[in-house]
């Protein structure tokens, strides 16, 4: 699941952009129509939430690394006290 999330966070917005504009081109929707702007708003919201999800994943991974480092330091301190 982690590899899927990483792929989605790296390339999801780009893939969504390509499909969106390809789809709009094929069905002949131009910027002077309302539906074009609705699709564009959808794309902006998708990109925003993908960005927020990426930030949350990065923060949780950073917290995991810090907790692991703290646990390692605590174990090393206990070993040094016993010696």
Give the model's pLDDT for residue 26: 92
Confidence of residue 7 (pLDDT cuts 50, 70, 90): confident
Tens of pLDDT, residues 15-66: 888 888 898 889 988 889 998 898 889 888 888 887 888 788 888 888 988 8
Whole-model pTM: value is: 0.58
What's the chain's Rg over C-alpha atoms?
22
Looking at residue 34, what is its pLDDT? 92
Question: CA-CA distances (angstroms) from residue 65 to 22, 54, 61, 62?
Answer: 41, 17, 6, 5
Return the pLDDT at 83.
65
Which pLDDT score is estimated for 1?
Answer: 58
Q: Identify whether the C-beta of residue 44 lies closer than 8 Å to the C-beta of residue 16.
A: no
- Residue 83's SS3 state is coil
User: What SS3 state is found at 32?
Assistant: coil
């Amino acid at each position: 699941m982690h590899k899927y999330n990483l792929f989605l966070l790296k390339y999801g917005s780009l893939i969504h952009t390509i499909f969106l504009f390809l789809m709009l081109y094929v069905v002949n929707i131009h910027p002077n129509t309302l539906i074009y702007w609705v699709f564009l708003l959808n794309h902006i919201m998708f990109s925003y939430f993908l960005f927020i999800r990426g930030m949350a994943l990065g923060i949780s991974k950073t917290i995991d690394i810090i907790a692991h480092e703290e646990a390692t330091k605590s174990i090393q301190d206990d070993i040094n006290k016993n010696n």
